[in-house]
Amino acid sequence: MAGRRLSLRTLVFFGGAMLMLVLAVVTAVLYTAALQRRAEELRVEKLTTRGELSANLLARRLHGVWMDVARLATLIDSTNPASAREQIQFMSRLDTRYSWLGVSNLEGKVLAATDGTLEGERVEQEPWFRQGLDVTAAIDGNGAHDPAHLPPASMESSRSIDLAAPVQHAGSVTGVVGAQLNWNWVLEGMADLQAPGIEPVLLSRDRLVLFGPPDLVNKPLNIGSALAADRVNSSSLRERWPDGKDYFTVTVPMIGLADLPNLGWSLLIRQNADDAMAPTRELIRSFWVMLGTGALTALALLYLAAQWLRTPLRRLSEAAEAIVRDPASRAPYAETRFEEAARLSNALARMQSKLMDRSTS
């Protein structure tokens, strides 16, 4: 038994199976790896496009209200407090984007404001007043206010955006129009950017989450994409977030449009990597199932082919052994499956005939 050689069927079947399976598996592994890599690239490209469009939409909303404040400054006469108060009240009722509107004189005294809030107060130290004396300003007002100068509506939120513009009369600056955006209006705009499975995350200049998953809001974000938020160009990567899950994340480092002042905000667009790659994983799984089914079918056909090749050779070898024992034994089977077997069958038949002639002479 130790010296028994492998049969032709075994050699053909296992040799062919090894060649076929090794090539198939190596090719399949390379193909599926390339497929997954390309799927990730396409997902990042889509998120990048969505991030840039979302940042542009948010910037357009902010730019629109910023321009409205600039236009409002051209309509108000700060030298006439009664008229200014009437216009402020009208705009406050008409436009719910503002949580507070007011106009001050050059000394920083509020002359008119929404519902009279802060009228008579001095706001000369407020950033919006100081910047609004010179240009139409937009300021991320978080932490930049004297609490005594915050209207009640603003104190309900931890965030504010201050807008201001110089009021001119007869060619000279006579006061400043100030506005605080209703933060809920900003949040509603961010909510409109959401899509199933895709989450926008708005970051402040100091990487504080202004909008995003509830467990991250008003907390600093110290992951790679947030640290890349101060770069000039967009970036993308796959990384683990504080919830322990992996996300494809695209960073749009600056939210601005035309001459809108930079608020220092940046936008992240994230998508759960497992959810994003689920269709690709299903495709790869189906591919492996089809490959496995095809491999089993091929192995079955290979086994039948090996058996088909082995049968005539087995019959011929048995016939040759029988002739050695007894030249008058049954004639070899006339093989016709392939040329070599047919030639060998004919040769054995002639050899048997000659052996029988010699034995009878």
Contact 281, 273 (CB under 8 A): no
pLDDT, averaged across the chain: 85
Contact partners, residue 28, CB within 8 Å, separation at least 6: 287, 288, 291
Is 255 inside any structural domain? Answer: yes
Alpha helices in the chain (DSSP H): 8-75, 81-94, 127-132, 152-155, 183-191, 224-227, 273-325, 339-360
Q: Alpha-carbon torsion 112, 134, 125, 63, what sign?
A: positive
Between CA 261 and CA 249 the distance in angstroms is: 26
Between CA 214 and CA 15 the distance in angstroms is: 60
Residue among 346, 350, 340 at smallest CA distance from 313: 340
Residues 147 and 253 reside in one and the same domain: no
Residue 356: band (very low, low, confident or very high) from pLDDT cuts 50, 70, 90: confident
Between CA 177 and CA 185 the distance in angstroms is: 20
Is 152 inside any structural domain? Answer: yes
- What is the domain-level CATH number for residue 56? 3.30.450.20
167-173 CB contacts, 8 Å cutoff, 24+ apart: 167/73, 167/76, 167/77, 167/78, 167/103, 168/73, 168/74, 169/77, 169/78, 169/79, 173/106, 173/133
Residues 84 and 167 reside in one and the same domain: yes
Phi first, then psi, for residue 95 (nearest 5°) are -120, 110
First to last CA, the chain: 41
Query: Using only C-alpha atoms, what is the Rg of the chain?
Result: 42
Asked which of 219, 250, 272 is the last residue of a domain, the reply is 272
Phi first, then psi, for residue 238 (nearest 5°) are -105, 125
- Burial class of residue 164, CB neighbours in 10 A (0-12, 13-18, 19+): buried
Between CA 144 and CA 162 the distance in angstroms is: 10
Contact 146, 126 (CB under 8 A): yes
pLDDT for 259-311, tens place per residue? 888 888 889 999 999 999 999 999 999 999 999 999 999 889 988 988 888 88
List 208's β-bridge partners, or say none: 220
**Can you give the pLDDT at residue 147?**
44
pLDDT for 49-77, tens place per residue? 898 899 889 889 999 999 999 999 988 88
Q: How far is CA 28 from CA 13, 238, 281, 337, in A?
A: 22, 25, 14, 35
**Can you give the pLDDT at residue 151?**
52
Please count the structural domains in the chain: 3
Strand, coil or helix: 200: strand
pLDDT exceeds 50 at position 106: yes
pLDDT for 4-50, tens place per residue? 777 778 888 888 888 888 988 999 999 999 999 999 999 989 998 89
Residues 248 and 193 reside in one and the same domain: yes
Is 2 inside any structural domain? Answer: no
Residues 224 and 295 reside in one and the same domain: no
Contact partners, residue 138, CB within 8 Å, separation at least 6: 62, 66, 161, 162, 163, 260, 261, 263
pLDDT for 325-336, tens place per residue? 887 788 888 888
Query: Of 120-134, 192-206, 253-267, 268-282, which range is least confident?
Result: 253-267
pLDDT exceeds 90 at position 255: no
Residues 20 and 131 reside in one and the same domain: no
Is 85 inside any structural domain? Answer: yes
Residues 50 and 86 reside in one and the same domain: no
**One-letter amino acid for residue 255 of the chain:** I
Residues 166 and 111 reside in one and the same domain: yes
Residues 244 and 259 reside in one and the same domain: yes
pLDDT exceeds 60 at position 230: yes
Asked which of 136, 168, 185 is the last residue of a domain, the reply is 185
Between CA 160 and CA 155 the distance in angstroms is: 9
Residues 117 and 147 reside in one and the same domain: yes
Between CA 302 and CA 192 the distance in angstroms is: 59
Place of tokens 């009878």: 360
Asked which of 125, 151, 185 is the last residue of a domain, the reply is 185
Higher pLDDT, 256 or 35: 35
Q: Which of 157-161, 278-282, 340-344: highest mean pLDDT?
A: 278-282
Residues 175 and 315 reside in one and the same domain: no
**Structure tokens that stand for 229 in this block:** 């938020």
Is 1 inside any structural domain? Answer: no
**One-letter amino acid for residue 182 of the chain:** N
Residues 344 and 322 reside in one and the same domain: yes
Which structural domain range is residue 115 located in?
62-185
Between CA 225 and CA 207 the distance in angstroms is: 10
**Left, alpha or beta for 231 (phi > 0: left; psi -120 to 50: alpha)?**
beta
Q: How many CA atoms lie within 13 A of 46 on its CB side?
A: 13
**Can you give the pLDDT at residue 270?**
92
pLDDT for 111-120, tens place per residue? 999 888 888 8
**Can you give the pLDDT at residue 337?**
83
Is 343 inside any structural domain? Answer: yes
Residues 126 and 115 reside in one and the same domain: yes
Is 336 inside any structural domain? Answer: yes
